[in-house]
Amino acid sequence: MSAYRNVGYFMIMAALIIIVGQFQSWNLALSILNLCLISAVMALGVNMQWGYAGLFNVGVMGFAAMGGLAAMLVSVSPVKEAWSAGGVGIFFGVMALILTVVTAIFTFRKMQAKRFRTAFVVFVCIVGYFIIRSIFDPATTAIEKVNPASTGYLGGLGLPILLAWPIGGIFAGAAAWVVGKITLGLRTDYLAIATLGISEIIVAMLKNEDWMTRGVKNVVGLPRPVPYEINLQGTPWFIDLATRLGMDPVTFSSIFVKLCYASLFTVVLLIVLYLSEKALRSPWGRMMRAIRDNEVSASAMGKNVKSRHLQVFVMGSVIVGIAGAMLTTLDGQLTPSSYQPLRFTFLIWVMVIVGGSGNNWGAVLGGFVIWFFWIEAEPLGVWLMDVLTSPMAAESALKAHLIDSAQHMRLMTMGVILLVTLRFSPRGLLPEKTGRS
Amino acid sequence: MEILNALALLSNYVFVPAIAYGSQLALGALGVTLVFGILRFSNFAHGDTMAFGTMVTILFTWWFQSMGISLGPLPTALLALPFGIFFCALFVLLSDRLVYRFYRSKRADPVIYLIASVGIMFVTNGVVRFIIGPDDQNFSDGERFIIRAREFKELTGLAEGVSIKVSQGITVVTMLIVVAALFWFLNRTRSGKSMRAYSDNEDLALLSGINPDRVVAITWILAAALATIAGTLYGLDKSFKPFTYFQLLLPIFASAIVGGLGNPLGAIAGGFVIAFSEIMVTFAYKRVVAYLVPGDWTPDGLVQLLSTDYKFAVSFIILLLVLLVRPHGIFKGTGV
């Protein structure tokens, strides 16, 4: 019975996207589908943290940004002048950073909890910081001076961008490990605030470290894993196909490219979904849910709750990082200012809660449903506001203000959806299967 | 002489702004810590509650200004403040009645309150942007400076001037009044005592006949008042932009946690710690150093520890440090 319901929800979702294709445009429908797929992967990652372990991660944006950073660093070709100008400095700076961290940890461990241990470690960190800055600053200024209009940064490795997707996951996992090590084991609120902080810092670093990411100048023209529309429009087999389908090659080329992306993303989504489902049904999954449901008994049984939580936190963040890399690949550019907490973190949370926390299929469905409504809510909201204000005089300032503000209705609607679902249907559209029905 | 100049420079760019900013953070952190101590959850919607209260104050200020009412040298917003507090309290009580009351009756997990507060944050954010728009709004009027840099230089004969804005002065004075009133309320009145009892041990408090609905209502009203005051002072000092208030959430929570979540004294201490650190770590000390060392030792660079873009990173790093070393905070808080 529930299987029919699950399939039914997905059928409705597919029908909605097809309706958009019919009535608005196929291009729009496919771009909505692509972002739905990416959001579904992100929701899977967050669901792993929330549904398996009950961790509230408010820093989804930061981990997605790390994935985007990896996409850029892996695929862009290196800027030789910049490397020769500052590469050595950056290398030594990184060495100095690692040395400082190792020394600090070593000092912390070796000195027993004497009164001056904290002061000594802080002193080591401060000295290390000044050394790092003295090596880094000349190097970064030199790099940023190299042709700032078009480069002004180190560039990347020049490898295929598909390689960046798992690497993005690793970057995000590393950041998650650091945050988790410090804050897990304390109250959930502290993890929430710490993840909020780390995501702000990651995005601030992306915006300001011009030598690495060009900051707000953005890195455009990332290489693609799929063909370019321009190239497609010139190849004979493509034009034949287009005429056989009765479509104009230009529109068909952009539809074709979007379909290529969609198939790549679907492959990733299916792999992640398959692995998550296997994990959920395994003994490991049962242990995680036991810890989530009754932490005290689980730790009485000898389970190291803190390290299990850390494990899940890192794994969920890896998935979010992969989705972030996919998003940057789709955009074709790294835009640090596009990482807005409302758009990323909180929207993904609404997806997880509405879809069904603890249920992977629910997270995927939530990703599709919420993203669809987020995109469609803007034209719908404007239309609704038009209808509601039609009795008003055409030049009324109030009318203009209301129509302008229609876009903010989206935020309110998302909040209301979250609250209503949390209150009346807390297990979401597709509830978690607990094995007892 | 040079030392005095350096001190004046530091006061103008570091001490005075830090005291003002610290007062604003302290008021915000007080609201958060009150809700945490008594209602036992972290209210992620507090930043947007500040924005809502400030928005209502701004609307009333504009109305008063259009009617020609003004407070002379002081900003008209102070007159509009009670109205802002009133409507903010109404909004917050309504959200409690609609959302949080259900979870209290079910004794839900604190994480659920956290998620619900995120939902309320979304809704409040949308409402504020809907009513007043997402852009910068400036609503201060009246005198701008208590003492100008020029006047200070004339008074003391120093090369560096210290200017103190009216908004900064009002911030400090208001903070002192509000904190005194709050502590008097919490320690000397029966309601305050019952609130502290409820925060300490809910079941025993209920057994003693304390009315939980009253305690909760008073908490929300106090939180709304503190949020509105903090938001209005911040808006007078800088400017009102809804997104900024969301960003303030991180320093406010950092202040509350550093001081000890649930402890009002800790919130105030934490607010000043965070404010001073943020400003001191991101300040460019070049000119101060230039006053203090002989001429040819003057440094080339800005002598800035972290660029100003990383201001929020500072509060985050302090938060992480405190969580690593002393998770209870400076003054022992109620929750870890």
Contact (Cβ atoms closer than 8 angstroms) between residue A135 and residue A89: yes
Contact (Cβ atoms closer than 8 angstroms) between residue B127 and residue A415: no
ipTM score for this prediction: 0.81
Q: Quick one: closest CA in A to B112, which residue? A: A422
Q: Which of A198, A404, A412 sits opposite B123 (nearest CB)?
A: A412
Contact (Cβ atoms closer than 8 angstroms) between residue B239 and residue B167: no
Confidence label for A314 from pLDDT (cuts 50, 70 and 90): very high
The two tokens of residue B324 are: 């690593």
Hey, CA dihedral for B162, B168, B174, B175, is it positive or negative? negative
Hey, CA dihedral for B277, B281, B284, B290, is it positive or negative? positive
C-beta atoms of A193 and B111 within 8 A: no
Mean pLDDT over A289-294 rounds to: 85
pLDDT at B142: 78
pLDDT at A396: 67
Contact (Cβ atoms closer than 8 angstroms) between residue A213 and residue A69: yes
Q: Quick one: closest CA in B to A422, which residue? A: B116
B13-19 long-range CB contacts below 8 Å, 24 or more apart? B13/B283, B14/B276, B14/B279, B14/B280, B14/B283, B16/B162, B16/B163, B16/B164, B16/B168, B17/B168, B17/B279, B18/B272, B18/B275, B18/B276, B18/B278, B18/B279, B18/B280, B19/B168, B19/B172, B19/B272, B19/B275
Q: Residues of B with CB below 8 A from A183's CB?
A: 320, 323
Q: Name residue B169's amino acid.
A: G
Mean pLDDT over A122-145 rounds to: 82
The two tokens of residue B268 are: 């105030």
Contact (Cβ atoms closer than 8 angstroms) between residue A75 and residue A325: no
pLDDT at A230: 78
Q: Residues of B with CB below 8 A from A404's CB?
A: 133
Q: Which of B129, B131, B257 sits opposite A193 (nearest CB)?
A: B257
* CB-based burial, B27-49: b 16+ in 10 Å, e otherwise: bbbbbbbbbbbbbbbbbbbbbbb
- On average, the pLDDT of chain A sits at 83
pLDDT at B59: 92
Contact (Cβ atoms closer than 8 angstroms) between residue A64 and residue A321: yes
pLDDT at A435: 57
Q: Output the CA–CA distances (angstroms, integers) from residue B281 to A93, B14, B253, B306, in the order listed.
A: 21, 10, 19, 6
Q: Name residue B283's amino acid.
A: F
Q: Quick one: closest CA in A to B100, which residue? A: A423
C-beta atoms of A188 and B134 within 8 A: no
Contact (Cβ atoms closer than 8 angstroms) between residue B127 and residue B45: no
pLDDT lower than 50: segments of chain B: 336
pTM: 0.86
* pLDDT digit string, tens, across residues B232-278: 999 988 888 888 888 888 899 999 999 988 888 899 999 999 999 99
Q: Does B52 touch chain A (CB under 8 A)?
A: no
* pLDDT digit string, tens, across residues A378-410: 777 777 777 777 777 666 677 777 777 777 777
Residue A271 has pLDDT above 80, yes or no: yes
Residue A142 has pLDDT above 50, yes or no: yes
Q: Output the CA–CA distances (angstroms, integers) from residue B334 to A90, A97, B38, B256, in the order listed.
A: 44, 36, 10, 11
- For residue A96, which of A61, A48, A70, A131 has the smallest C-alpha distance? A131
Cβ count within 10 A of residue A306: 14
* pLDDT digit string, tens, across residues A19-64: 887 777 788 888 889 999 999 999 999 999 988 888 888 888 999 9
Cβ pairs A/B, distance under 8 A: 138
pLDDT at B262: 83
Q: Report the residue of A190, A211, A420 to disrupt the B interface, i.e. the one with the largest count of B CBs within 10 Å.
A: A190
pLDDT at A221: 78
Q: Does B320 touch chain A (CB under 8 A)?
A: yes
Hey, CA dihedral for B108, B112, B114, B119, is it positive or negative? negative
Point out the least confidently predicted range of A97-111, A311-325, B117-131.
Answer: A97-111
The two tokens of residue B178 are: 């509000």
Contact (Cβ atoms closer than 8 angstroms) between residue A74 and residue A159: yes
